[in-house]
Structure 1
């Protein structure tokens, strides 16, 4: 890894972490449902789908920008561990419907947004 890539990852990671902090702080929980985590995971999934789509459709995305957005920004913005913890907490609190909704929403919405980003990159 060259220095330029490392700096791109570090800067993207710093911005992604700050974005996650503020987005999750604004929308942490709505009626016991972790909306903030779903939102940050959704945003990161769309961005990654878009970047992958650009590459797939033959549009050159420089390596430092891929590192900035993919590994840095989206890596710090999205959070599987918080999603897992929040789901576990819902189960522990016997909120089975909300736990199932959280799992379903995160998987269905984020995978759908990767697909949408991928398709939109073609245009």
Structure 2
């Protein structure tokens, strides 16, 4: 890996981590449901879908920008490990409905947003 790509990943990761910190904190947990985690997972999914769509539809996205957004920013922004821990905690606390809702909404919404980003990149 060249230094330029490594710096792009590091810079994107730093900004993604800050975005995650602030965005996940602006929405409260609603009746045991981690809305902030859903927000950052959704945003990262949309950005990745848009980036992939640009590439798929033939737009030239420089490798350092792909590294910055795809690996760095979205990698630090998306909180799959937090999502998994929160789901596990809900299950451990016997909040089965909320755990199922957490899994279903995160999976359905993030896949839909990848698709939406992909389609918007076509324009």
Interval of TM-score (by shorter of Structure 1 and Structure 2): over 0.9
After TM superposition, the structure 1 stretch with the greater mean CA deviation from structure 2, 53-62 or 17-26, is 17-26
Give the structure 2 partner of residue 63 of structure 1: 63
- TM-score normalised to structure 1 length: 0.98
Task: Spell out the pairing of 1:1-123 with structure 2 (5 A cutoff).
Answer: 1-123=1-123
CA distance in 2, matches of 1:37, 1:81: 10
CA distance in 2, matches of 1:74, 1:44: 5
- TM-score normalised to structure 2 length: 0.98
Does structure 2 retain, via aligned residues, the 8 Å contact 1:28–1:37? no
Give the secondary-structure state (helix, strand or coil) at the position aligned to 2:8: helix
CA distance in 2, matches of 1:102, 1:119: 26
- Report how many residues are paired: 123
Q: Unmatched 5+ residue regions in structure 2?
A: none
> Aligned-residue CA RMSD in angstroms?
0.7
Tell me by how many angstroms 1:13 deviates: 0.1
CA distance in 1, matches of 2:81, 2:44: 15
Tell me by how many angstroms 1:41 deviates: 0.4
Q: Unmatched 5+ residue regions in structure 1?
A: none
